[in-house]
Structure 1
Amino acid sequence: MTEKTPEGLRAQRAHLIASTGLAEAVLRERAEAFQLYPEHMDVWRTVEGIDCLLDGAEQDMQLTESQAQARGWEEKYFEMVEKYTPIAVRDAALQDHLPVLRRAIEALPETCRYHADTSPRGGWRDEACCDTGIPARRRALAEKALGALSKTKEQI
């Protein structure tokens, strides 16, 4: 697969049009009226394909720029939220979500159906004892994290 830059595609497009000996407008008119030699029609189809690629590249570039701008605004938004939202409000919102998180964690199995101990055994099994023990291991880790989150200021 050959990859070309938009500048390379524009140069190839200009070279193809010049190879026909016709102006681009004349080539377009004759192609629309099906009055081209087969070789020139192939060139025109290639030029149309290059135009599609160039349009897609420009749209991708615009989309990428808009995505970068949106990401920048998103980062600024979260930075402002973090800066200006009081800690007590965030803690209260977290406390509202704790029961939901607890129910989600309780949906995971407590132990592996094959092993009682789900701790990592080393080697390629870094997460749990086996594939069926992964959910149980994740539950144990989530319960530990949830316990740390649910501590109140008095307990800290």
Structure 2
Amino acid sequence: MIASTGLTETVLRERAEAFQLYPEHHDIWVTLEGIDLHLAELIEGEQSPELKEARAQARGREEKYFKLVEKYTPLAVQAAALREWVPVLRRAVESLPATCRYHDETHPHGTWREACCDTGVPAQRRALAEKALDALASGA
């Protein structure tokens, strides 16, 4: 079930705790939690050999799945996808304002601020995103 989401159990758990799951992934997470709860009730701290074997097989299948995904997604395909999406991301970043409406600079005026003021935050984030996109484009 976890493999069908394309996520690891850890990532699925983190996203569930942060309420950042797609509805279909949430359904899988709720089902898994229910299964774990019922197994815990049945086992009460003692795991049967069958359950240990089933968990080991599940982990093995999950590892094989992710190895296959990595094997059949070569770096060339990943780089092509990155080249395809960098211009799209760049256009999205360009929709953010380049400067603050009230100030020419966007640098914070203290240690607790992200930018010069609230209206300078999008401009500051645009500058950071442009740096990240430049780094991605140079690595691609």
The TM-score with structure 1 as length reference comes to 0.46
Greater RCO (Cα-Cα under 8 Å, separation 6 or more): 2
Instruction: Give, in angstroms, the shift of residue 112 of structure 1.
Output: 0.6
Structure with max Cα Rg: 1
Which residue of structure 2 lines up, in the alignment, with residue 141 of structure 1?
Answer: 128
Instruction: For residue 98 of structure 2, give the secondary structure of its aligned residue in structure 1.
Output: coil
Tell me, which stretches of 5 or more residues in structure 2 are unaligned?
A: 1-28, 37-58
Instruction: For residue 138 of structure 2, give the secondary structure of its aligned residue in structure 1.
Output: coil
Which residue of structure 2 lines up, in the alignment, with residue 123 of structure 1?
Answer: 111
Which residue of structure 2 lines up, in the alignment, with residue 35 of structure 1?
Answer: none
CA gap of 1:149–1:62, structure 2 versus 1, over 3 A, is closer
> 1: CA distance between counterparts of 2:35 and 2:82?
32
Measured on the aligned residues, the alpha-carbon RMSD in Å equals 3.3
Q: Percent identity?
A: 62
> 1: CA distance between counterparts of 2:35 and 2:94?
41
Q: Does the alignment pair 1:106 with 2:94?
A: yes
Instruction: Give, in angstroms, the shift of residue 99 of structure 1.
Output: 1.3
> 2: CA distance between counterparts of 1:107 and 1:118?
17
Q: What is the number of residues matched between the two proteins?
A: 89
Which residue of structure 1 lines up, in the alignment, with residue 77 of structure 2?
Answer: 89
CA gap of 1:64–1:113, structure 2 versus 1, over 3 A, is same
> 2: CA distance between counterparts of 1:66 and 1:103?
45
Which residue of structure 2 lines up, in the alignment, with residue 56 of structure 1?
Answer: none
The TM-score with structure 2 as length reference comes to 0.51
Instruction: Give, in angstroms, the shift of residue 135 of structure 1.
Output: 0.4
